[in-house]
Amino acid sequence: MDASVSPRAHAIPYRAVAYWVATVAIVAESVVGGVWDIARIHFVRDMIIHLGYPTYFLVLLGIWKILGAAAIAVPRWPLVKEWAYAGAFFTYTGAIASHLTTGYARAEVAVLAVMTILTVASWALRPADRCLPGYQPLRMRS
């Protein structure tokens, strides 16, 4: 090994990999879920009815999911990203509460919990250029 090259030069950027894995998962789920909501596919429509929500709620939720996914995925607009992350967090945790209180499709709670964790991970691991000015994202110890 060349003495002039530090061992960290070849280190895998775990933080960046974790950020992108979490971000791609929440963006993909938001886009697919948003399209399904807007289309009011049978499975989603039945679930929303069993949870006690009106079906028109699906169109509103679907549009906001797609807009939120776009805000998280594209560079710039850090304030909009903050709102999009908050919206995703509220969507997943609200869905968890809905499933637990109604008792309908409780198996979904595990998936929703994972999506909540991925949302928090994406938010916490995002690069500084995707944060509000003056905000330092969480840093791992070296």
Encode the chain (142 residues) as per-residue pLDDT tens digits.
555 655 555 667 898 999 999 999 999 999 999 999 999 999 999 999 999 999 999 999 999 999 999 999 999 899 999 999 999 999 999 999 999 999 999 999 999 999 999 999 999 999 888 888 877 666 655 4
Cα–Cα distances (Å) from 91 to 83, 116, 135, in that order, read 12, 9, 25
Does residue 12 form part of some domain? no
Residue 76, pLDDT score? 86
Structural domain range at position 55: 27-127
Cα–Cα distance for residue pair 104/12, rounded to 1 Å: 42
Tell me, what amino acid is at 37?
D
Does residue 109 form part of some domain? yes
Residue 48, pLDDT score? 95
Residue 140, pLDDT score? 55
Residue 55, pLDDT score? 95
As for how many domains the chain has, the answer is 1
Shortest CA distance to 23 belongs to which of 127, 128, 137?
A: 127
Q: Please report the sign of the dihedral spanned by the C-alpha atoms of residue 17, residue 122, residue 66, residue 46.
A: positive
- On whether the CB atoms of residues 99 and 106 are closer than 8 A, the answer is yes
Does residue 17 form part of some domain? no
Cα–Cα distance for residue pair 105/102, rounded to 1 Å: 9
With left for phi above 0 and alpha for psi between -120 and 50, is residue 65 left, alpha or beta? alpha
Does residue 102 form part of some domain? yes
Does residue 114 form part of some domain? yes
Residue 142, pLDDT score? 47
Residue 131, pLDDT score? 86
Cα–Cα distance for residue pair 17/88, rounded to 1 Å: 21
Residue 3, pLDDT score? 56
Does residue 49 form part of some domain? yes
Cα–Cα distance for residue pair 36/33, rounded to 1 Å: 5
Does residue 88 form part of some domain? yes
Does residue 111 form part of some domain? yes
